[in-house]
Structure 1
Amino acid sequence: MDMRSVLIKPVQRVLKYPLFLDRLVSETAMGHPDFKDLMEAKTRMANVAKDINEYTKRLDLINKYRAGGDQSLQSKMQRVSMHSVVKKSARISAMVSEMLGIMSQTKDPEFDEEVAKFRCVQKAAQTLAQDVSVLLQGVIARHKAEMDISRNLAATLLQAAATPEMESIQRDSFIQQRVIQPAKQLVSLCEVPERLIQKRYHKMLDYDNAQYKLDKNKDATKTRILEEELSQMKGTYEALNTQLMMELPILTRCGSEVLSLATRSLVAARMYLQGHLAKLYLQLAQKFAKAIAWLYPQLMRCDGGRRRLALRT
């Protein structure tokens, strides 16, 4: 028995509990003190098994859409079929009908709110990654210019005096690792939920269209087929909706924390750079002060000697 078979045992055991309890109920007299508890246990375990099966089916469906496959134009053209053309045409028709008010649209304010929060985080991550990349180029150029100014001042004015230490700092790599890379990774993580949101919208259109066709149907022979179609569309839509309602708040919260840490790291890096430049200029000022303190008495002595020589002559 391999490890996969061992790990699946607890899950399979849970799904067998309703069968065990059903057997116990069938072997227990109705007047027995445990009969009521057994019936309740049977009902609860049946609900647990149902929830597990639904979750497994939902997860399989989500993984199918999450994979996404090849998104190239060639791959999309290869997947084109009459069925897909009819389905997309029906969605466009449903979209137009909902916009014109001909067909009612499924509303979910709670989901819309979560999507709005998610897209705020997504947009913030994209903006942070792009803007900080541009900012970093300017910061590196400015820092290099400031370092050159410091060196030139030290070399020109101090001459023989020691040049201030110009320690090489790599704040650019710090910003790359702590700000830009996390923001880019967050943007990448948002791609799959965004694709699922689009899929959910498409399935909602399919569901609304199926509901509309069933409501308008007057042919009794087609009712069963339309009901089965509606049930299938509803199941797919609700599976995507439920999974997204579970994942979006988590991703939004974690994404907000990532952005907060990235912003703090950016502020810390900028403060470090400003402090480093201030330190360089302070070192220069101290060197200038020492040089002037040494040079001033020498100049005064030279000036006094010239005056005495002038008086003698």
Structure 2
Amino acid sequence: PHTGASDLSFFLVMPVQRVTKYPLLLRKILENTPASASAYPALQAAVRAMAQVNANINEYKRRREVATKYNKAEHLTLRDRLARLNTHSIAKKTTRLSRLLMHEAGIVAKTEDKEYDDLEEKFQCVVSSVATLKENVASYLGHFEAFLSPTPHQRDLQMDEGPAQQYRHFAECLQYTVFPEFKRRLDRLVCQPLCSLSDMLVGPQQLVKKRLDKLLDYEEIQERKSEMGSVTYDEEAAMNTYLAINDLLVAELPQFNQVAVQLLGQILCSFSTLQRDLAAQVLHQAEKELEKV
């Protein structure tokens, strides 16, 4: 009664996007249900459960908004960066730099968060490993190309048989069949996944960087709050932004690190397998030529 609903079907057909209305409906039903009714305890539990669902939805929305706002890398020109400079931004950056220097000098204590620090350390290890592997694969490909560039077997040696012709057949097979196929597989199974993994790291890297900036703001505002007893609306919003970014990273980094390490391991396995297959193909081709001797 008094809920504006004609029957139970009203509740069952309500769209999911209006799930935040459920706690209000359940509270209204609870208010109109006698405490002695057998359904009363179940209704109380339902009200608490839906209130928690509502809180989880709001928290998820808050984290998504933070991630959308801060996890995009900005590629700004020098002119764009200069255009963004104003008195407020310069003052903010100066305050952050001053705070950071005081941290390094030990004048003020850093905010300790062991859980986050451990997660960030693992994340930075993944970032470093991916960057190193990209450099190594690029170097490997460069040396590979340099190895293939000399083509003495294409010279007309005026020899129709013997070891020189066998070498020519062997080298041509490697250059035109074995090596091109290896490079195609290397690009598909190693280079492309590695670039995709590297792109995946950009968003979290931006959030980690932004968290440090917001942490410096947070500490400065906390210090001011302890001295003056209150903060402005904008300062309160800045503190909440830091807390939102920190909560998001603490919640998401464990799974992200795990998935990234798994992908990196799979890429390394693919790289090792490709090199093993290449060695087997080269050996097989060499044995075929030796059989002709």
> TM-score, normalised to structure 1's length?
0.76
C-alpha spacing 1:281/1:192, structure 2 compared with 1 (3 Å):
same
Is 1:185 equivalent to 2:190 in the alignment? no
Is the Cα contact below 8 Å between 1:104 and 1:208 reproduced in 2? no
Output the CA distance in 2 between the equivalents of 1:42 and 1:132: 57
Is 1:124 equivalent to 2:129 in the alignment? yes
Counterpart pick for 1:79 among 58, 74, 84: 84
Question: How much does 1:111 deviate?
Answer: 1.2
Is the Cα contact below 8 Å between 2:166 and 2:289 reproduced in 1? no
More helix, by proportion: 1
C-alpha spacing 1:195/1:159, structure 2 compared with 1 (3 Å):
closer
Is the Cα contact below 8 Å between 1:122 and 1:186 reproduced in 2? no
Output the CA distance in 1 between the equivalents of 2:153 and 2:258: 44
> TM-score, normalised to structure 2's length?
0.80
**Partner in structure 2 of residue 106 of structure 1:** 111
Output the CA distance in 2 between the equivalents of 1:103 and 1:215: 15
Unaligned runs of 5+ in 2: 1-13
**Partner in structure 2 of residue 196 of structure 1:** 207
Question: How much does 1:174 deviate?
Answer: 1.4
**Partner in structure 2 of residue 234 of structure 1:** 239
Describe the superposition over 1:208-247 as per-residue Cα deviations: whole angstroms up to 9, x where unpaired: 1111111223xxxxx3335x55643332112111222233
Across the aligned residues of Structure 1 and Structure 2, the Cα RMSD in angstroms comes to 3.1
Output the CA distance in 2 between the equivalents of 1:194 and 1:237: 15
Question: How much does 1:257 deviate?
Answer: 2.1
Structure 1 stretch 196-205 or stretch 95-104: which is displaced more?
A: 95-104
C-alpha spacing 1:162/1:173, structure 2 compared with 1 (3 Å):
closer
Aligned length: 273
Output the CA distance in 2 between the equivalents of 1:161 and 1:53: 72
Question: How much does 1:133 deviate?
Answer: 1.6
**Partner in structure 1 of residue 291 of structure 2:** 286
Describe the superposition over 1:1-55 as per-residue Cα deviations: whole angstroms up to 9, x where unpaired: xxxxxxx93032x200111012112212334333333233223312221221122
C-alpha spacing 1:159/1:245, structure 2 compared with 1 (3 Å):
closer
Alignment of 1:10-25 (within 5 A): 10-12=16-18, 14-25=19-30
C-alpha spacing 1:25/1:156, structure 2 compared with 1 (3 Å):
same
Rg bigger for which structure? 1
C-alpha spacing 1:270/1:225, structure 2 compared with 1 (3 Å):
closer
Counterpart pick for 1:215 among 226, 236, 240: 226
Question: How much does 1:265 deviate?
Answer: 2.0
Output the CA distance in 2 between the equivalents of 1:95 and 1:207: 12
Is the Cα contact below 8 Å between 1:126 and 1:184 reproduced in 2? no
